[in-house]
Structure 1
Amino acid sequence: MFDFSSGRLLQIAIQLLAVVAILPIHEFAHAYIADKLGDTTARKMGRLTINPLHHLDLIGTVCLIFTGFGWAKPVIVDPGAFKNPKRGMAVVAAAGPISNLLLALVYMLIVKVLIVFFGGNDSGVGHFLIQIFYILTYISVSLAIFNLLPVPPLDGSRIAGLFLPDKAYFGLMRYERYISIAIFLLLFTGILSRPLSIVNGVVMNFLDFITQPVNLLAGLIH
C-alpha cells in the first residue's frame, strides 16, 4: 500500500520528526501521571511539558535518527510519594506506552483522512504526507510495544512488578543494568526484530480496522 523506498534522507527526516513528535509525549505522560498521583519530582525538574528540549537525550536522539531505535531522558519518579508505591510505579509506567498507542491512533486517523482527501494517487504531496504519518504511526506503535516488554528498565517491568511478589520484583531490579545491556545487544543484533515486528504488525492492523469508519463516512459523503 505504501512505498518506503523514498530514500535514506527522507527516512532520517521522518525519524527526526519522530524525536520531537513522539518521544516527548511518552515522557510527558509519565510525568503527568506521576504528578497526579502525588509525586512532584517531575514538575520540579521541568518535565511536566511536551517541549522536546526538556526531554531529549543527545545519544538517544542520534541513535533514533540513524538506527531507528532511540530513547529520551527518563522521568525521575519517587515511589515513596505514592500511597501504594508498587501500584503507583505500574500506573506511571503504563502511561508512556498508552500515550504512544493513543498517538498512533491519531496518526492513523490522519492517514485515513489524507487518503480520502487525496484519493489513491501514488505521487505528489498527498502521497508524501500519507507516508509520513503512516511511518509516524508505526514508530509510535513500535515504541509502545518495545516499552511493554516486561524487563527492566523498560516500562513493562514496572507493570509486571504489580503482579510479582516484592522479593522477586526487587530482586529483578537489582540486575536492571545488566538486563538493559542484554536488551540493547539483542536489539542491535536483530534477534528481537522479528518478534517485535510481528506484534507491531498486529497492532497496526488493529488500528487500520478501527479507523475504517473514516473510509465509510467518506463513501457516504461522496
Structure 2
Amino acid sequence: MRLLETVAGHEHGAPAKQLARETGLALPTTYHLLRTLVHEGYLRRDRGLFFLGEAAERLSSSGAQQKRRSTVTDTLARWRDVVGVPVYYAVYRDGEIGVVGVADTPGNPAVEEWADFRETGHAHALGQCLLAQLDERSRRDHLDRYPVRPVTPYTVRDSHSLLRRLERSQDTDLVTERQEYALGTVCAAIPLTIGTMAASVAISLPAHQADRLAPAVQQLRSEMRRLLGSLALSISI
C-alpha cells in the first residue's frame, strides 16, 4: 500500500530505485512488489517508469463514490435531526425517478414504498417536484411511459390536472401533496437543480400533523442553504 501511495504521488511516473528510496524498502523487495502489482493491474510500467494501473484507478473511483454516498447520508441525517421529520432525497436521471437517500427514525418513520416510486411520480411530492423541473418534452415523455393513475382516492385524476399543478409549483418552488401516495401522510418537496440534473428534497408527516408541514419546510430551507454545498458535490451519485 505504501508503494502504491508513493507511485500515486508521481503524476509523471517514477523509476524503481526512486520508489525504493522514498518508501524505505529494499531494492529487491521493491522490484518484487512492483512486478506483482504490474501483473495484477494495480500498476503499469512504461519506459522504466511506474504509474497507477486500471485496477488502482477503479479502487479510487469506488472510494470516491462511497465518500459521496456518505456525504448524502450525513447531510440528510443532519436535516432530519434539525427538522424532526423524515427527509428524502431524489434525482431524475436517464428518464427515471430515483430515490437516492432517506433519513428517518423509529419514532418518525419514512413513508413505505408500497407502490413503485418510479411509476407513481405523479402521486408523491418528490416525483411531482422532479417532473416540474423538466422541460415540456421530457415531462410528457415521462407521463407517456408512466401514465397518471389513481394510487389513493386523493391522487390527481388526470395528466391535464397534473400539468397545471406542476406549472403552479414552478412559481412557489414548493410541491405539497396530501394523502395522494399514502393514506394518512402529507408531504412537501423542494426543488434542487444543480447543473443539468433535477433533484428534490422532501419531508413527510402524519396527516393529523399537517399544520407542522409549512414550518418544517421553512426550517428545511434554512438548513439547505447552510449545507447545500456538501450535498451539491454528491448529486451525481
TM-score normalised per structure 2: 0.26
Higher relative contact order (CA 8 A, sep 6+): 1
Calculate the TM-score normalised by the size of structure 1: 0.28
- Please identify which structure carries the higher helix content: 1
Q: Which structure's CA Rg is the greater one?
A: 2
